[in-house]
């Protein structure tokens, strides 16, 4: 006989795999981010580049969704349909927040900042590096728009597949491309025993230097 699942209020996990000291973090938050991301990639987690992206509408309504981090330079790069809900909300307000959580490493990173579009050349390069079916999906999908049925998507797919068979060059839709989060805030969170977690933050200053501080858990 199966026992009843425990109430969610009773679910507990003790974090004790690592620690984070303010004297050990790197001077630049992007370098610290890349260090942690590298470790997550090496750990072969299920979705190490999954990033929860939060945007806010012009009416002040927040929304969130998972996007995939595709590169890191002076910011964090992801790709989307600019006509999607997140695309419109980014255009309206530009400010976003992103969170990455790696449960096996007991680590979380929070990022806040503004967004800039990648150049057409950058977006073209990435679009045509994607698998054929991923390109086709982006080409035919009116992301976040109401559609009558799945059959509508499948019909659009078949039409595009006939027009652009595998091996041909699918034109990147002008409303699909890259976005770069330009960070002004980072928080690196390391789970610790008894909920006394380590939280190290980086705040961008007026002179473009980063102030590093510890937060209470």
Asked if the structure places residue 193 within a domain, the reply is: yes
Asked if the structure places residue 28 within a domain, the reply is: yes
- Are residues 92 and 165 located together in one domain of the fold? no
- Are residues 122 and 201 located together in one domain of the fold? yes
195 labelled catalytic = yes
pLDDT tens-digit profile of 21-53?
Answer: 999 999 999 999 999 999 999 998 999 999 999
Using DSSP bridges, classify how beta strands 76-81 and 71-72 pair: parallel, antiparallel or unpaired.
antiparallel
pLDDT band of 176, cuts 50, 70, 90: very high
* pLDDT of the residue at 20: 96
Task: Provide long-range contacts, Cβ within 8 A and 24+ apart, for 144-147.
Answer: 144/81, 144/83, 144/84, 144/85, 144/86, 145/83
Cα 173 to the center of its chain, rounded Å = 21
Q: How far is CA 24 from CA 32, 36, 179, in A?
A: 10, 13, 31
- Are residues 90 and 163 located together in one domain of the fold? no
Total domains, the chain: 2
pLDDT band of 1, cuts 50, 70, 90: low
Mean pLDDT of the chain: 94
pLDDT tens-digit profile of 181-217?
Answer: 999 999 999 999 999 999 999 999 999 999 999 999 9
| H or E segment to which residue 174 belongs | none
As a whole-number percent, the residues of the chain with pLDDT over 70 amount to 99
- Are residues 67 and 159 located together in one domain of the fold? no
Contact 178, 130 (CB under 8 A): no
- Are residues 135 and 203 located together in one domain of the fold? no
Asked if the structure places residue 206 within a domain, the reply is: yes
State the residue range of the domain holding 103: 15-128+174-215
CATH classification at residue 63: 2.30.110.10
Catalytic choice (39, 65, 192, 195):
195
| Averaged pLDDT for residues 123-135 | 96
- Are residues 34 and 101 located together in one domain of the fold? yes
User: pTM of the predicted model, to two decimals?
Assistant: 0.90
Question: Measured at the alpha carbon of residue 161, what is the angle toward residues 157 and 162, in degrees to the nearest 5?
Answer: 120
């Amino acid at each position: 006989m199966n026992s009843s699942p425990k109430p969610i209020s009773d679910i507990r996990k003790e974090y004790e795999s690592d620690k984070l000291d303010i004297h050990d973090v790197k001077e630049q938050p992007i370098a610290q981010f890349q260090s942690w991301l590298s470790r997550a990639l090496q750990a072969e987690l299920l979705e190490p580049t999954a990033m929860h992206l939060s945007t806010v509408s012009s009416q002040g309504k927040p929304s969130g969704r998972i996007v995939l981090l595709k590169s890191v330079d002076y910011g964090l790069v992801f790709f989307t349909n600019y006509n999607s809900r997140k695309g419109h909300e980014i255009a309206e307000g530009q400010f976003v927040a992103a969170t990455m959580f790696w449960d096996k490493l007991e680590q979380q990173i929070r990022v806040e900042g503004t967004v800039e579009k990648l150049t057409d050349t950058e977006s073209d390069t990435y679009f045509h590096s994607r698998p054929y079916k991923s390109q086709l999906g982006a080409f035919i999908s009116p992301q976040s728009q109401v559609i009558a049925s799945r059959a509508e998507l499948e019909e659009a797919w078949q039409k595009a597949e006939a027009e652009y068979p595998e091996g041909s060059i699918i034109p990147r839709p002008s409303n699909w491309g890259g976005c770069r989060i330009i960070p002004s805030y980072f928080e690196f969170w390391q789970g610790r025993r008894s909920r006394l977690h380590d939280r190290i933050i980086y705040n961008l200053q007026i002179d473009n230097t980063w102030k590093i501080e510890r937060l209470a858990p």
